[in-house]
Amino acid sequence: MCSGLHFLPIGLLLVSLTTFCLTYIVSVLRKDVNPVLPYISDTGTTPYESCLFSFFLNLSAVLAFSTVYVRYRWVRIVTDEGRSLRCHNILAVVAGWLSALGLTLVANFQETNLEGVHMTGAAMTIGCGILYMILQTLLSYKMDDTLSLSRLRLVMTVVCFLTAASFLFATLAAKSQRSDSVDPLHWSSSDQGYGAHVTAAISEWLTCIVYLLFYATFVQDLKRTSMVVSFHVSTIAESEGIKV
C-alpha cells in the first residue's frame, strides 16, 4: 500500500522547478544563452543541458500524469459523481494527460531541431494545462470545496490564462520584429523586438510557475489518500477451468 500520495504534486513542482533552474545555470555558464531572461526552452536546447532538460522533464511528465489520475480517482471517491460532475472529471483527466503528453514533446524535441513538434508540445502543455485548471476550478465549486481553496484556484487560473496570452502575443511580436541576423538564443537590448522578447520570456516563466503551483493545491487532499496495488497470477489450468 502506498499512502500519502501528496508526494506526487510536490515531486512534480520540485522536479520541474529544479530542472528549469539547473538548465538555466548550465546554459548560462556555457554561454549558450544570454543570462537575462531567456525562454525556458532556450535553456534546454543545446547539449549538454538538453540532456538534463529531456531527462527531468520526462520525469515531470510521469509525475503530472500520475497526479492527474490520482486526482481523478479522488474526485470519484469523495463525491456522489452526478452526471455533470462525472463529465467535468473525465474532461479534466483527458486535458491533464494531454498536457503531460505535450510536456514529453517539449522535453524530447528541442526547438532548434524540430521546432514544429516542439511548439506543438508547448501548445498542448499550456493550452490543455489551462483547460485542466479551468475544469478543476469548476469541480472545486461543484464539490463545495473550502471557499478559500476554490477562490485560490480561480485566481491562479485567471493569472495563468493572462500570462499565457501575453506570452503568445509577445512571442509573435518579437519574431515579426526580429532581424534574420539576430541569434534567437542571444538577444541583446539593441535588437529590434527586444522589448517584446522580454515580455514573452517573463510571461512564459510566470505561466509555468503558476501552472505548477496549481498542482500544489491538491496536496492537502492527497495527504489523506492511499493506493493499494494488487496482483493476481492465474495458471494455465486455472484459466481453463481445470481443478488442480
CA distance 182 to 214: 36
CA distance 167 to 172: 9
Domains of the chain, residue spans: 2-239
pLDDT digits (tens, 9 = 90+) for 90-133: 999 999 999 999 999 998 888 777 878 988 999 999 999 999 99
Range 51-55, long-range pairs (CB < 8 A, 24+ positions): 52/19, 52/22, 52/23, 52/26, 53/19, 53/23, 53/107, 53/110, 54/107, 54/108
Phi-psi region of 180 (alpha: psi -120 to 50; beta: other; left: phi over 0): alpha
- Closest alpha carbon to 11 in 238, 234, 212, 230: 212
Average pLDDT of the chain to the nearest whole number: 85
Confidence of residue 244 (pLDDT cuts 50, 70, 90): very low
Confidence of residue 177 (pLDDT cuts 50, 70, 90): confident
pLDDT digits (tens, 9 = 90+) for 56-101: 999 999 999 999 999 998 888 877 666 778 888 999 999 999 999 9
Residue 230 vs residue 21, higher pLDDT = 21
